[in-house]
Amino acid sequence: QEIVTGLPPFISIVALFVNAKSEEVAQCLNRIPIDILQFHGDETPSYCAQFLSPYMKAIRMQEGVSLSHMAKDYSLASALLLDSYQAGVPGGTGKTFDWSMITDIDKPFILAGGLSVDNVTNAIQQASPYAVDVSGGVEYDKGLKDKIKMQEFMQEVNNG
């Protein structure tokens, strides 16, 4: 809550949850002015929709995933977040996935998974996402962002 109150205007507040209990999500919504919920676990469409708030749903890209099917299942989602798959890991793997898997999707999507200054321009040109999501690709140590890497990343996004 302290972090949110210190933010400048026009910053969207995203609350990320991984297999959270409904009560935890509701409690956050009651205490913090959240703009969008991000569900990054095994949440069902009905679970995500129950909060009556804008949300995005992370889809772990692996063989057999049908994006058209996922877009229909999560039709109430504002966007899908397409991330790499690793068994037992909900995200933050630092690995990319085969972007040619992104077909048959008529919903805005956010591209995630192993993005860095070295590959984000190509990723944008190949996949044409609505937005990109980066974490580890701009860190100098686990959880610690590198200002220079962030600036370089943004420059490469602009080049895409």
CATH number at residue 15: 3.20.20.70
Q: How many residues does the chain have?
A: 160
Number of domains the chain contains: 1
Task: Give the residue ranges of the chain where pLDDT is below 70.
Answer: 89-92
Query: Tell me, what DSSP letter sits at residue 89?
Result: B
Please tell me the predicted confidence (pLDDT) of residue 3. Answer: 87
Which residues, 6 or more positions from 148, have their beta carbon under 8 angstroms from its beta carbon?
none
The per-residue pLDDT for 92 is 67
Is the pTM higher than 0.85? yes
Structural domain harbouring 147: 2-159
If residue 92 lies in a helix (H) or strand (E), which one and from where to where?
Answer: none
